[in-house]
Amino acid sequence: MVKILVTGFEPFGGSNVNPSQRLVEALAVGGVEGVELVRVILPCRFEDAGRQVAAAIDRHRPDAVVCFGQGSGASMAVERVGVNLEDARIADNAGDQPDGRPVDADGAPAYFATLPVKELARALNAGGVPARLSLSAGAFVCNHVLYSALRHLDRRGRRTPCGFVHVPKLPEQVATDDFSDKESSMGLDTLTLGARIVLTVVADHVRTQAPVPALTATTGS
């Protein structure tokens, strides 16, 4: 079994639901073949979210880390980079609204996600789930979590694949009681299918990266 830490976020920005939380919960039903899931819902708060993902990494020592969060747009967005920047258009759930603050004053400017990002976007599209690559996870709490997780693994000297996927809103989040055109959305079934595809590809990636144990032990004689 490949152990994967999967995270989603609590609702934020006045919504009472977050698609990333819903899809992480939906994964529990039936699980993912060959994968031991460790599921964690993170707070949408700069002060806690990064620390909680780092603590979960230390506690569970996963083979891979896949974080999901609510984005905008019509596609799942596989993020390529986490940046050392917090710059928020809205306040987080603790009322914190940083204006150009670093995630870590002593940290590197950015980290690349270490998941097979192109393979993930390809597999999602091939599986019928609209997906794209994204060059930046923004500068809100999702980016904070991506940067914090990658920095933590780097500091611990671990090569654990780690990355982030932004997902569209749920249909019920964009439906309004007027007759205007609506924002893009993705239903929970498609979101959950997408998450399963992501985790299956990541688990295969871990299996092929894992060092093959020696068939015979050397005696040193």
Active site residue 162: no
Minimum CB separation of residue 215 from ligand PCA in Å reads: 46
Minimum CB separation of residue 6 from ligand PCA in Å reads: 14
Question: Which of left, alpha, beta for 201 (phi over 0: left; psi -120 to 50: alpha)?
Answer: alpha
Active site residue 166: yes
The pair of three-digit structure tokens given for residue 180, joined into one six-digit string? 């205007």
Q: How many CA atoms lie within 13 A of 220 on its CB side?
A: 0
Distance in angstroms (rounded) separating the CA atoms of residues 183 and 144: 25
Rule CB under 6 A: is residue 50 a binding residue for ligand PCA? no
Amino acid found at 56: A
Rule CB under 6 A: is residue 71 a binding residue for ligand PCA? yes
Active site residue 144: no
CA distances from 221 to 213, 215, 216, 218 (A): 20, 17, 14, 8
Rule CB under 6 A: is residue 12 a binding residue for ligand PCA? yes
Rule CB under 6 A: is residue 141 a binding residue for ligand PCA? yes
Rule CB under 6 A: is residue 140 a binding residue for ligand PCA? yes
* Binding to ligand PCA in span 145-184, by CB under 6 A: none
Rule CB under 6 A: is residue 116 a binding residue for ligand PCA? no
